[in-house]
Amino acid sequence: MKKILVPVDFSEHSEYALEVASKIAKQHGAGIILFHMLGLSDSVLANSEIAEEAEAKYYLKLAKEKIKEYTEKEYLKNVSVETIIQNYKDFEEVNAVAQEQHCDLVVMGSHGTSGFSELFVGSNTEKVVRTSDIPVIVIKDQHEDFTIKKIVMASDFAKENISVYKKADAFAKLYKASLEVVYINTTGANFIGYDIVEKRMEAFKKELGKDIQINFYSHPSLERGIFKYCNEKDADLLVIPTHGRKGLAHFVVGSLAENVSNHAELPVMTIKL
């Protein structure tokens, strides 16, 4: 790992992400690129050329001052930090910046407070997750320590999940962490017999070319089941495959009850299929 991209909007959540990124960077000798999107509105750009230039300079000056404050954080000491400020307005363009800068990972804060679906769907974070070609770690709360010992990957054992597993496994090895795969079998109309799931598991292992730890977990809700399993296993990181522009909704459908929302404090890594 050489470069970590951290999109910041100067909120406390983006600072939580930056602090986690700094820990990852120190652990693996990586550099950090701080990326801020000015997002000047069309109304600003529609002004006269002189007014437009003056207002753009004003917001750029504010952004430069704020991003400089971020680079001077104590936890970034001894970490190589670069800054990029651009007038992108669409968070889907974060992927373009990550590609241009040859980043290996995106670490981004989320303002989500009401569970897994609201943590991603319809938010700027979801747009980054949906379009990023490199892994994204979503941070919701402050983590004084970012020690990864146990990683759980939720999977439906589709063939395309093989590449996701390999990337998750590579990340686990960086931390010398354990990695296990869980299949959440929802009860009710969508319930699938264990014998069928077992065949999927074996086919997945065969395609992967090695024996891995896979667990079968039944729960009425896919989303709640994932978080409940991670909670029971005391997981430090959850890995979720994404389907590109189809978004997380293709993999995770529905919403969570209020009492499950606290589980979203668990850092989540999304990896594009």
pLDDT tens string 155-175 = 888 888 999 999 999 999 999
* 145: region left, alpha or beta (phi > 0 left; psi from -120 to 50 alpha): beta
Q: Tell me if 204 sits within 8 A of 161, measured CB to CB.
A: yes
pLDDT-derived band at 256, boundaries 50, 70, 90: very low
Query: Model confidence at 229, in pLDDT bands (50, 70, 90)?
Result: very high
Q: Which pLDDT belongs to residue 123?
A: 63
In three-state secondary structure terms, 43 is helix
Q: Looking at the predicted structure, is the pLDDT value of residue 122 above 50?
A: no
The pLDDT assigned to 156 comes to: 85
Q: What is the largest CA-CA distance in the chain?
A: 70
Q: What average pLDDT does the segment 217-229 reach?
A: 86
pLDDT band at residue 25 using 50, 70 and 90 as cut-offs = very high
Average pLDDT, whole number, for the chain? 81
Express as a percent the part of the chain with pLDDT over 90.
Answer: 44
Distance CA 19, CA 25 (A): 10
Is residue 204 classed exposed, middle or buried when 0-12, 13-18 and 19+ CB atoms within 10 A define those classes?
buried
Rounded to whole angstroms, how far apart are CA atoms 268 and 226?
Answer: 11
Q: What is the pLDDT of residue 143?
A: 87
Q: Which of 106-110, 146-150, 256-260 has the lowest mean pLDDT?
A: 256-260
The larger pLDDT score, comparing residue 241 to residue 69, is at 69
Question: Residue 258's pLDDT band (boundaries 50, 70, 90)?
Answer: very low
Please state the domain extents for the chain. 3-272
Question: What topology is assigned to 3-272 in CATH?
Answer: Rossmann fold (3.40.50)
Q: Return the percentage of the chain with pLDDT > 70, whole number.
A: 80
Say if residue 3's pLDDT is above 90.
Answer: yes
pLDDT band at 254, cuts 50/70/90? very low
Residue 98 has pLDDT above 80, yes or no: yes
Task: Indicate if the pLDDT at residue 114 is higher than 50.
Answer: no
Cα separation, 254 vs 224, whole angstroms: 10
Question: Could you read off the pLDDT of 131-154 as tens digits, one per residue?
Answer: 889 999 989 888 888 889 999 999
Express each pLDDT in 29-84 by its tens digit.
999 999 998 866 555 445 556 666 677 778 788 889 999 999 999 999 999 999 99
Q: Give the 3-state secondary structure of residue 142.
A: coil
pLDDT of 24 above 80: yes
Identify the DSSP state of 75.
G
How far apart, in whole angstroms, are the C-alpha atoms of residue 212 and residue 208? Answer: 9
Give the residue-averaged pLDDT of 234-246. 81
